[in-house]
Amino acid sequence: MPFQPSDRRPRAGITAVGTLLPEEVLSSDDLQREVARRSGLTMPPTLLRQATGILTRRVAGEGVYASTLAVGAARRALDAAGLGPLDIDLLLFASASRDLVEPATAHIVQAELGSRAHALDVTNACNSFVNGVDLARSMVLAGRARRALVVTGETPSRAVRYDPADFAEFRSGFAGYTFGDAGAAVVVEAVERGGILDVDSETHSEHWEVGGIPGGGSRHPRGDAYTYFRGDGHELRGVFEKVGTAVIDRTLHRTGMDWDGFAKVLVHQVTVPYLERFAELTGVPEGKLVVTVPELGNVASAGIGVQLDRVFGELDAGDRVLFVGLGGGISIMTMVWEKS
């Protein structure tokens, strides 16, 4: 029998969503030309575009920070919900990017919004936003919050090395050339029906060194070289292919659902080949996916929020959506949400 949660169980769900994209558009061809100009490296024409399937991405301009994108998305989500900043009693900045090491970027977002909510950061690489939604749901169900605002502002383009010293350095930072910037936000609150029905996760932390930005912490507190993304994209993809389908299979089995039961499937998108491989391994029909990576690139934790915003108005009450989060560390996460 399809998954049917008890009507007596308290529920929390997503009731509004908003996003903000930077105005500047940077094509992969222009990015490659800039890297070649600064580094002096000779590369095959259209290498980045052909290898990643990414045509363009949005790039935050001068004076635009992670908090800037989060605040803009938050205002749109609040407007969509017919709420003001003081209607929120929990604010989670759930993002891989941040403005500062300290204090939490959530406080910068809150100051800009004019909220007085309990505010904190949630950080887990590209799974940060889905983790934030799950934490907000838990706080609402526990009676610790009445209404939560979960926001992300991703500016991974700031971690891209435009002047690699040689091809070895170019290859080690290649994953960074997939990055784009974006902000997203959702309102999470108690609902009478639907809402977040199921959450599952799996971590494989032995792979934490596969990719990341090593600077800013106690291991590498200073040094510009540590502020760029480093990672082996092939190794990262291999890890996800090895372990990534188990949690999805478990979710489908536990809920008694198949792909036909979902109106949409929202998945973290790194490159076009990566997304095609995901569809091949899981069997998700192409028409269920909300494809953004060719246009926006890898927008880290904001990706699922951006995808949700694009289809939110098309969904009917009772439609179910599967979120699939993939994050460095390594973590995989699923969430089944039903529109109220």
- Mind telling me the catalytic residues? 126, 268, 298
Phi-psi region of 193 (alpha: psi -120 to 50; beta: other; left: phi over 0): beta
Omega within 30 of 0 (cis) for the link into 45: no
The residue among 177, 210, 146, 133 whose CA lies nearest residue 27 is 177
DSSP category for residue 171 = H
Q: Using a CB cutoff of 8 Å and minimum separation of 24, what contacts does 205-212 make?
A: 205/329, 205/330, 207/239, 207/329, 207/330, 208/328, 208/329, 208/330, 210/235, 210/236, 210/239, 210/328, 210/330, 211/175, 211/236, 211/328, 212/125, 212/328
8 Å CB contact between 106 and 46: no
Q: Where are the extended beta strands (E) located within the chain?
A: 12-20, 24-27, 56-59, 90-94, 118-122, 147-154, 182-190, 195-203, 211-212, 230-231, 264-267, 320-327, 331-338
